[in-house]
């Protein structure tokens, strides 16, 4: 039977109707599944990280290179460490961090742009500081009001020439900042400047992590790395994962309504999808925890004086609870064994090399174009540098309460870093399974739609 011209055109129109319908269905589904996927942010873009071996996505048994298993870490973190750390970082002593916010990048002219007001740091009036934090007899010329929203926010240059009794002002050999130079330093209330999504995007943001990883990503295969170089990479990767999780946990979901919340797809895309990044997060957590538990006498005997006897007593009590918790001592007495590193004839030379690499990473924090990102980058890198300082003294000998010397700012950074890592581990443990189920469902739906599209196309091509 010969088809008329009208019938042929009708079948052609029907065919293209189904083609367009299938195409629209696929595009809508893909748009919905990727709607919550954010643009790359400074501390969210980790796809550029050097590609190391990835294992199975199962997180059980011993944490690699550590002396504690995943199940124990999660239990201790939820029951003991996270509650104590959350209280500790809110005390006056650990609330204020001294930092140089405006520094020239030593590697390139910064061209970063920050499109959200949350990039700026909330500065504090001098009257808010504990008296012992201020230079004696220094008076404020302006009654500064603590507020966000100014792209070029003025920085309160309160000096800090009065150190605590028992605290020293000696440079950390692992970090770049000159902590004894206080002329350009300002106090920042960390509780008023939470670490979260800032909208800092673009080439400048990506370039930071490219440069950080280039300090520890050699061109030869990863299996040729020595143990110490692997440790440095895992610390960088773990810190990167933690920062990405902080952003996912406090993300701007809708800028028009200023709606903030959890972005589980970001956490999955940047961290959970790569098992080694989760493992490195647990590793750095135990590494920093080991540094804290290795110096209990020093940290217990230090003076946490802020001029408020009740708050200072509470701070000291929380420190003791953290250092001597019986559950922690029984379940994970030595989270990481640093004694196995720097062995052999080239140990001192290797240590000096890796120390310089970390100093370069520390210097890169001055290149961050977002003020709030720079604040938390500097704090956490200083905290990690302090952990390295505690575990690996300059002369290669074991530190003790008599030989270890820490600055007040180093202890503040160390404890705040441990709290940030604790929060990340807690978020992964509690929300990780949910994020994986959601994202695996999205991937399954997308695969189904693509398969449907292929079937449609195959059918239409035959008609």
Taken as a whole, the chain contains a residue count of 463
Q: How does the average pLDDT of the chain come out, rounded?
A: 75
Residue 373 annotated among the catalytic residues of the structure:
yes
**Spatial separation of the C-alpha atoms in residues 168 and 147, rounded to whole Å:** 32
Highest mean pLDDT, choosing among 37-51, 90-104, 397-411, 431-445: 90-104
Cβ-based neighbour number of residue 334 at 10 Å: 15
* Two structure tokens written together for 71: 């199940």
Decide: 244 and 265 in contact? Cβ < 8 Å. Answer: no
Mean pLDDT, residues 128-142 = 44
Of 122, 124, 217, 373, the catalytic one is: 373
Q: Is residue 255's pLDDT more than 50?
A: yes
d(CA 371, CA 110): 12
Q: Give me the mean pLDDT over the 96-105 stretch.
A: 82
**279 has binding-site annotation:** no
Residue 209 assigned to a binding site: yes
Which of 52, 114, 124, 370 is the catalytic position?
Answer: 370
What band does 197 get if pLDDT is binned at 50, 70 and 90?
confident
Axis crossing angle, helix 408-462 with helix 275-294, rounded to the nearest 10: 170
The answer to whether 370 is a known catalytic residue is yes
Are 44 and 270 spatial neighbours (Cβ–Cβ below 8 Å)?
yes
Q: Residue 143 phi/psi, 5° resolution?
A: -85, 80
Full-model pTM:
0.76
pLDDT at residue 443 greater than cutoff 70: no
Share of residues in the chain with pLDDT > 90 (%): 35
Report whether 198 belongs to an annotated binding site.
yes
**String of b and e for 46-68 (b: at least 16 CB within 10 Å)?**
beebeebeeeeeebeeebebbeb
pLDDT tens track for 137-178: 332 333 323 223 333 222 223 323 333 344 566 778 888 866
More confident residue, 380 or 258: 380
Q: Are 446 and 29 in contact (CB under 8 A)?
A: yes
- Those residues with Cβ within 8 angstroms of residue 317's Cβ, 6 or more apart along the chain or in another chain: none
270 is in an annotated binding site: yes
**Distance between CA atoms of 418 and 428, rounded to whole angstroms?**
15
What pLDDT, on a 0 to 100 scale, did the predictor assign at position 254?
87
Rounded to 10°, the helix 227-249/371-391 angle is 140
Instruction: Indicate if the alpha-carbon torsion angle 160, 162, 167, 170 is positive or negative.
Output: positive
DSSP one-letter code for 67? S
CB-CB neighbours of 213 under 10 Å: 18
Whether residue 257 is predicted with pLDDT greater than 50 in this model: the reply is: yes
Half-sphere exposure of 392 (CA within 13 A, CB side): 23
Between 440 and 254, residue with greater pLDDT: 254
H or E element at residue 53: none
Q: How far is CA 319 from the centre of its chain?
A: 23
CA distance 194 to 81: 20
Least confident range of 199-203, 251-255, 322-326? 199-203
């Amino acid at each position: 039977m010969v088809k008329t011209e009208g019938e042929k055109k009708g079948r052609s129109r029907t065919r293209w109707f189904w083609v367009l319908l299938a195409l629209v269905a696929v595009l809508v589904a893909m748009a919905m599944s990727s709607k919550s996927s954010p643009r790359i942010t400074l501390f969210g873009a980790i796809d550029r990280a050097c590609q190391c071996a990835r294992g199975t996505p199962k997180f059980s048994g011993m944490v690699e290179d550590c002396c504690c298993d995943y199940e124990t870490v999660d239990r201790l973190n939820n029951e003991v460490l996270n509650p104590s750390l959350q209280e500790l970082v809110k005390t006056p002593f650990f609330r204020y961090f001294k930092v140089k916010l405006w520094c020239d990048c030593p590697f390139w002219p910064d061209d970063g742009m920050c499109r959200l007001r949350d990039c700026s740091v909330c500065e504090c009036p001098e009257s808010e500081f504990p008296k012992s934090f201020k230079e004696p007899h220094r008076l404020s010329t302006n009654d500064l009001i603590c507020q966000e929203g100014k792209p070029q926010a003025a920085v309160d240059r309160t000096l800090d020439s009065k150190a605590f009794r028992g605290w020293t002002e000696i440079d950390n050999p692992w970090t770049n900042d000159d902590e004894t130079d206080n002329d350009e330093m300002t106090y920042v209330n960390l509780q008023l400047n939470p670490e979260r999504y800032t909208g800092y995007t673009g080439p400048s943001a990506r370039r930071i992590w490219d440069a950080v990883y280039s300090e520890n990503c050699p061109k030869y295969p990863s299996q040729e790395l020595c143990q110490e170089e692997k440790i440095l990479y895992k610390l960088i990767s773990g810190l990167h994962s933690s920062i990405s999780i902080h952003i996912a946990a406090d993300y701007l979901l809708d800028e028009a309504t200023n709606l903030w919340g959890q972005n589980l797809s970001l956490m999955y895309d940047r961290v959970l999808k790569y098992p080694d990044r989760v493992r490195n997060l647990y590793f750095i957590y135990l590494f920093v925890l080991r540094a804290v538990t290795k110096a209990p006498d020093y940290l217990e005997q230090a003076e946490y004086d802020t001029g408020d006897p009740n708050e200072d007593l509470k701070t000291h009590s929380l420190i003791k609870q953290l250092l001597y918790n019986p559950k922690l001592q029984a379940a994970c007495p030595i989270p990481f064994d640093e004694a196995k590193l720097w062995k052999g004839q080239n140990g001192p030379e290797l240590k000096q090399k890796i120390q310089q690499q970390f100093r370069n990473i520390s210097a890169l924090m001055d290149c961050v174009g977002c003020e709030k990102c720079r604040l938390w980058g500097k704090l956490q890198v200083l905290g990690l540098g302090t952990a390295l300082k505690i575990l690996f003294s300059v002369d290669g000998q074991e530190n003790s309460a008599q030989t270890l010397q820490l600055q007040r700012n180093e202890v503040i950074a160390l404890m705040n870093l441990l709290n940030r890592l604790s929060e990340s581990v807690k978020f992964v443990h509690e929300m990780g399974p949910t994020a994986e189920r959601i994202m695996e469902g999205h991937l399954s739906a997308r695969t189904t739609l693509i398969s449907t599209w292929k079937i449609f196309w195959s059918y239409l091509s035959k008609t």
